[in-house]
Structure 1
């Protein structure tokens, strides 16, 4: 069954219960809106991935992923990532019929938003940490101890691996 047809078959009846209507539709994209919320559903044909974004009208939309569903619904939550379109839609409909999903559909996104922002901040920190540690390693190899110390100071000595902490102490002594 085609993605848009799956969405309308499984999700439209649930979303309509909470005042949603289809506001835009393209091939593999369906956008819903209620008086309070927006929901976008997308199927990327090229990498066979799915995206669901939720948010209050006029505000930022946040992606709903497996981690968020598990945080909201518990460890037995069904997956929505790396599954077929039918399984994606069916599992999403199960979530939207559960208490946690209904809360989001009716506008209570505080916990959901917090989970997504926390996840984003963690990802960003890990990315920056990796870049800083790469720069620190290059500085260490070049015996540029000042740059090494400055790099480590950017993220904080307590947030780096033990091996870098030892190098940090040595670099500080060499300065």
Structure 2
């Protein structure tokens, strides 16, 4: 991973040019997010589900019964956004919330039968968006690109508004 001194040296002596907008990682990541969201909506147009909503349904499918704070850490969004996403999904009958048996002040969320059905029906469309997004890369580059993105997220997680908790 490298020592703190090595990390500081890497930051103070960048090996990339950042003078032009198209050379800045932050700009490129923001643009890639715009492109991905557009592809997601195009591929998943029949479902009226956002990428964050689909991510939340996936998380609840894999880890049922999480409270809002835990969901924020799983999905990587702030509490206000999570409350809004949960409310919208609950209104559509895709998620159910109930008081926590351990702490009455908290509510736990679970994916509903309808939510699981929609998530499963959407899977191929969601996957199509991912495949189309990565299509300009060679197969081995796709794996490396995702690995490098995961490394960047993990290495910079502490700077996000919400700390993302990663479970293997």
- Structure showing greater Rg: 1
Please report the TM-score for the alignment, with normalisation by the length of structure 1: 0.24
- Bigger RCO of structures 1 and 2 (CA < 8 A, at least 6 apart): 2
- Which structure shows the higher helix fraction? 2
Please report the TM-score for the alignment, with normalisation by the length of structure 2: 0.25
- Which structure shows the higher strand fraction? 1
